[in-house]
Structure 1
Amino acid sequence: MSCIYKYLPPERKTYLIDSLLRFTPPSDLNDPYECLPALPVGLEQASFNYLKQEILTPPKHRDGMSRIERRLADKRYKKNAQKVIKEINMDPTFISKKFYADAKARMDENIGILSLSRRWDSALMWSHYAASHSGLCVGFNREHDFFKQGNDKNDNGNFIFKPVTYSEQRSLVPGSRLNKSQSISVLCTKSVDWQYEQEERSIALLSDATKTINTEQLKLSLFNVPHDSIAEIIIGMRASHDIEKLAKGLARKLSVPLYRTQISKHSFDVERKLINI
């Protein structure tokens, strides 16, 4: 059986109880380049010129305005437009800032990502995503219907499950609207610096979330990732007794193996030992 793994910090032990996992908006992930393609210089300049032309073009006059009123309205508009253009010219990155701000806002409002990995034995990921080995790592059966719902055969347009492509070059914004293939490429391309994670992504619309929790800082969109998709459970070498107890109960219920990580005697690799349940 081929597994994919989700590292979880101690506070997310709740998954062992309620089967809910957060699908995270791109801006809340730890890579600032998440889902943001590069804006080609030519396209940026063309957009800049178009924007200036649009700003300098007065709006249509309201019906019933006299000739003098129209002239005064045009004069006021052009004076304000020139001021805006001056401010834009003072900031050459205006277009890219505007593009990225708008793109992030649209994505964060609509898209959530569940980051998974093909490996359970990364010391870095146990440190970063499982709170220095005090959390857990859940292994899922990648052939379960939950992960297959977005494949070409089932064609669920609201769900994608794809491996991440690692590249030395960022994706580029095309001159026209992104098609489905290009959009998926943007969502699933990362720098080669992250290659050690061997990431695969489940991507869903936040509107399909099982449960939404609004906090002062952020919105949590939780999805039901069925417990029967679990193939194995691994708890960290520093995991609490409470986590071990919850993991044992679920592993026993599902008849899946439970492991605890341990330090290798001969290398820096993370090893694991089967726990009797």
Structure 2
Amino acid sequence: MTNNIPSRLYKYKSFNVDSLDLLVSDSLYFADPTTFNDPLDCNPSVQNNMEDVDALNAILHKLVKDNHQKELEEAAAKIKNRGQKTLDKIDTLGESEAQKLINRIAENVEFFGDPHGQSVSFYIKRYLLQNYTVGILSLAKEFDCPLMWSHYADQHKGFCIGYDVSIDHVEDIYPIDYEGKRFITTQQVYDMLFGSSESLKRAAKKEIDNVILLSKAPAWKYEHEFRVISKQGLQDSPFRLSDVTFGLRFKPSAKYAVMKALQGRRGEIDFYEISLCDDSFSLKREPIDLADIYLRRFPESNYEIGCDIFEAMNCFPEE
């Protein structure tokens, strides 16, 4: 695990069926980066800093071939057809797709006068990002960020889920770099694919991973974001659910429902509600419990309450 990771990290969520399911089933959702609200996120440019046309074509050739082979191999696996003839055919088709694209770029360069490096860079980016089919779990360092409550927790009608990440899990947690670059060079991609040593390949890949997956615009710095990288989709949580903090506008009846649903969970879970500071724009949180007086009335039956009132009224003798 990366050094200097807080012992607890937080996920701001709206309150709905899906977020309740995450809590009760102890699951986490690793999102496709293409669905992020910031189109600059996980979407760097590729800048050409190489003059060797053959080297540029070699980069594109390998990326296209690998991408098509991966797609075809997944399709073959689904129909349980992975014999040697199938694998040879996949290799041939991947080679053919790569060469067709390179030939098309060369024709456009010759006909339109388009710079070769610019065209190749465009396609290098496309196929490079297609190979990053990872899922990302975004977590925050703080539970009391006013902007996060407004942006991600449905304007305080949602909650903030705390996770204990102090135990050394196999998952690595990475801090976001808000001062990083938003571009990758073709030389970096070349070194990652064809580097003269394994250490050079690993170093280049790490640099590219950091730019694609862990760099954001400085304006997002208020989020203090950390990321867990895994496969896409819903997964069992690798972290212990430590606490739940309810927003200022979270309904009391829903608080009762959430707390009741988690009452039998192994391991202690703390519950809080956000409150306002009288002397600043800061937020604070106070602990709450099912024994608190305003929660003790749930679950409530208005019919039974009405019957109780009616019976009490009938106890008084008529004058």
What is residue 170 of structure 2 aligned with on the other side? Answer: 149
User: Residues 245 and 144 from structure 1, CA distance in 2 versus in 1: closer, same or farther, beyond 3 angstroms?
Assistant: farther
The runs of 5 or more residues in structure 2 that have no matched partner are 1-5, 62-102, 193-200, 291-319
Bigger radius of gyration: 2
In 2, Cα distance between the equivalents of 1:250 and 1:234? 15
CA distance in 1, matches of 2:157, 2:206: 39
Q: Does 1:274 align with 2:279?
A: no
Q: Which residue of 1 aligns with 2:157?
A: 134
Instruction: Select 1:248's aligned residue among 239, 259, 277.
Output: 259
Q: Which TM-score applies when normalising by structure 2?
A: 0.60
RMSD after superposition = 3.4
Q: Which has more strand, going by share of residues? A: 1
* CA offset digits 1:71-101 (Å, max 9, x no partner): xxxxxxx999646743572999544432333
Closer, same or farther: CA 241–99 of 1 in aligned 2, 3 Å: farther
| Structure-2 change in CA distance of 1:117 and 1:46 (3 Å) | farther
More helix by share: 2
SS at match of 1:165: coil
1:149-172 deviations in Å (ceiling 9; x for gaps): 13xxxxxxxxx3211222153353
Match in the other structure for 1:61:
none
Letter in 2 for 1:111: V
8 Å Cα contact 1:113-1:201 kept in structure 2: yes
TM-score norm. by structure 1 comes to 0.68
- Counterpart in 2 of 1:17? 24
SS where residue 166 of structure 1 aligns?
coil
Look up the match of 1:7. Answer: 12
2:33·2:135 contact (CA, 8 Å) conserved in 1?
yes
User: Pick from 175, 181, 191: which aligns with 1:176?
Assistant: 191
What stretches of structure 1 move > 6 A for 4+ residues in a row?
Answer: 78-81
The 8 Å contact of residues 111 and 204 in structure 1, kept in 2 or not, is answered as yes
Query: Runs of 5+ in structure 1 lacking a partner?
Result: 56-77, 151-159, 207-220
Q: Are 1:162 and 2:174 an aligned pair?
A: yes
What's the offset of the Cα at 1:229?
0.3
Aligned equivalent of 2:79? none
* CA distance in structure 2 between the partners assigned to 1:100 and 1:80 by the alignment: 15
Written as runs of structure 1 = structure 2, the 5 A alignment for 1:1-277 is 2-11=7-16, 12-43=19-50, 46=52, 50=56, 82=107, 85-86=110-111, 89=114, 94-107=119-132, 110-144=133-167, 148-150=169-171, 160-170=172-182, 172-173=184-185, 174=188, 175-177=190-192, 179=202, 180-186=205-211, 187-206=213-232, 221-225=233-237, 229-241=240-252, 243-250=254-261, 252-253=263-264, 254-277=267-290
- Deviation string 1:7-29 (CA, Å, 9 cap, x unpaired) is 11112222121122210111111
Contact 2:156 2:250 in 1 (8 A): yes
- CA distance in 1: counterparts of 2:10 and 2:227, whole angstroms: 11
Partner-residue secondary structure (3-state), 1:176: helix
Q: Deviations over 1:111-144 (max 9, x none)?
A: 0000001111111111111111111111111123
8 Å contact kept, 2:108–2:114: no
Structure 2 distance, partners of 1:87, 1:246, is 65
Cα contact 2:45–2:125 (8 A) shared by 1: no
The letter of the residue matching 2:286 is K
Aligned length: 225
Aligned mates of 1:236, 1:255 — CA distance in 2: 21
For residue 47 of structure 1, report the CA deviation from its aligned partner.
5.7
Identity rate of aligned residues, in percent?
25
The CA distance in 1 between the partners of 2:129 and 2:147, in whole Å, is: 28
The corresponding residue for 1:67 is none
CA gap 1:137/1:21 in 2 versus in 1, 3 angstroms = same
- Paired residue secondary structure (1:89): coil
Code of the aligned partner of 1:237: L
SS across alignment from 2:173: strand
